[in-house]
Amino acid sequence: MSDDSHQLRVSKIKNGTVIDHVRGGQALNVLAILGIDGSGDEAVSVGMNVPSDRMGRKDIVKVEGRELSQDEVDVLSLIAPDATINIVRAYDVIGKHRVERPTEVVGVLSCPNANCITTGDEPVASRFAVLGDGVRCAYCETLIREGFADHIDVE
Amino acid sequence: MQHDHVLTAKQFSRADIETVLDRAAAFDARREGVPPDGSEHDGSDAEAGVSDRHAETLLGLLFFEPSTRTRMSFETAIKRLGGDVVDMGSVESSSVKKGETLADTVRVIEGYADALVLRHPSQGAAKMASEYVDVPVINAGDGAGHHPTQTLLDLYTIREHAGLDDLTIGIMGDLKYGRTVHSLAQALTRFDATQHFVSPESLALPPDVRYDLDEAGTSVHSHTDLESVLPDLDVLYVTRIQRERFPDENEYRAIADAYGIDLETLERAKDELSIMHPLPRVDEIDPAIDDTDHAAYFDQAHSGIPVRMALLDLLL
Ligand SMILES: [Zn+2]
């Protein structure tokens, strides 16, 4: 059964988040967005290039003991627009969300333009408009079209 | 014209631009003693009924970067309207030196003035300032970002010299860091203009400005030298290439020479070609051109007053 073979790859989690239907090759960027680099104590399982009926190949990320915030889901949508977010409690999926592209992301990405007013000591939060193929700083108008994970500013 | 703030040239519709330029033309005509309706009068601004309205108006000048010209131009404009300025003075002598944020500075000075004119080295500074105050903020230059009032006077000059319809314009020099270029290019998308950009590869238009031009569906052509496109141009807008953009003096010299113009360059140009420059120039334009009919750059500089008068009059 496909479910069994699937479980061989990525084990079930008790409490936490399963990010499924991530575009193949983006799992490490998902981890970067979540600030997971192995130095913390979360148990993380990653499946890469798992066969998928819908997507051909997909990545899947399971994070034990952590439920994603809306900010994190917003930014995930930039690199994993087809992802489904499953919130798991006591082995049961209690919430299932498709990520939705927000019209803007606030305080999540930091502007790559060193001359941007948001990168100095001002009290203002970064703000990016989400475009069809990237994001754009609402202050200096710099475009980011790839490498979003490099600009993540989530605590 | 319905705007709370003047932050970028992009915010202006074609109708907005025409409203400002028409008002500026009326101020200009008045100064020359020729009212638009052709009637006789004494040539004073008072006759337009603006002096009374702006007699109590105070414009707050916040220049975090040196700029004698733009500062004087705003000061002259508001005084000609009957108002006055309060000036933050140089950054060296202000609280900013002590580490105050811009957000705090504008919230304090907002209490002194009816509108703020802001020049700042950081891109997006005027936009951020506008979110902290209730009075209008006018962007007088934010780093390599925008300079919308310069654009209005550029458009005024283009309209006077070449017309804004069916315009073919060349914009040459530092297109990467030149904020006057960014604002002008974006504003010209409101008109039926063909834009040719002439620069070394290293100083080409930044991707975000390019994005706006593409979104606007405007006709954009890029060149690394002026020669092929010069004969087609109605206007050539020249900007200064800054020495500090180049690590190497020889490389800078070679580039600066290649993107400068003299009488010989202009032999292939239309007789009606107007040459513009936001000034100050260094040696991009040979002074021998000053005495020809091509030179529009001093006219351009002078139009800063009526255009800023018009903008302030409409905004305040
Ligand atoms: Zn920015």
Dump pLDDT digits (tens) for A41-66.
889 999 999 998 888 999 999 999 98
Q: What is the pLDDT of residue B204?
A: 95
- Please give the mean pLDDT across all residues of chain A: 85
List the structure tokens of B70: 């733009």
How many helices and strands (H and E) does chain A possess?
Answer: 3, 9
CB A50 within 8 A of CB A60: yes
Position B253: which residue type?
R
CB contact under 8 A, A122 and B102: yes
Of B186, B196, B179, B188, give the one whose Cα is nearest residue B158.
B188
**A116, A118, A121: residue with CB nearest B101:** A121
Binning pLDDT at 50, 70 and 90, where does residue A70 land? confident
Q: What is the pLDDT of residue A73?
A: 83
The answer to whether residue B82 neighbours chain A at the CB level (below 8 Å) is: no
With beta carbons under 8 A apart, name residues in chain B contacting A122: 101-103, 128
Residue B1 C-alpha to ligand 1 middle, in angstroms? Answer: 28
Of B42, B120, B112, give the one whose Cα is nearest residue B84.
B112
Q: What is the pLDDT of residue A1?
A: 43
Question: pLDDT tens, position by position, for chain B (316 residues)?
Answer: 778 999 999 999 999 999 999 999 999 998 777 655 555 554 455 545 565 789 999 999 999 998 888 999 999 999 999 999 999 887 776 666 678 999 999 999 999 999 999 999 999 999 999 999 999 999 999 999 999 999 999 999 999 999 999 999 999 999 999 999 999 999 999 998 999 999 999 999 999 999 999 999 988 899 999 999 999 999 999 999 988 888 889 989 988 889 999 999 999 999 999 999 999 998 899 999 999 999 999 999 999 999 999 999 999 9
Q: Per-residue pLDDT for A11 more than 90?
A: no
pLDDT per residue as tens digits for the range A96-155: 888 888 899 888 889 999 999 999 999 999 999 999 888 999 999 999 988 777 787 754
Total residues found in chain B within this entry:
316
CB contact under 8 A, B124 and A139: yes
The chain B residue lying nearest A144, using CA atoms, is B208
Q: What is the pLDDT of residue A114?
A: 94
CA angle B299, B304, B307 (to 5 degrees): 115
List the structure tokens of B105: 């500075």
Residue B237 C-alpha to ligand 1 middle, in angstroms? Answer: 28
Residue A112 C-alpha to ligand 1 middle, in angstroms? Answer: 7
List the structure tokens of B10: 């992009």
Q: What is the pLDDT of residue B142?
A: 96
CB contact under 8 A, A118 and B103: no
Q: What is the pLDDT of residue A25?
A: 87
Higher pLDDT: A137 or A31? It is A137
The answer to whether residue B214 neighbours chain A at the CB level (below 8 Å) is: no
Binning pLDDT at 50, 70 and 90, where does residue A8 land? very low
Contacts 24+ apart (CB under 8 A), B211-215: B211/A136, B211/A143, B212/B10, B212/B186, B213/B185, B213/B186, B213/B189
**Could you tell me the pTM of the whole model?**
0.86
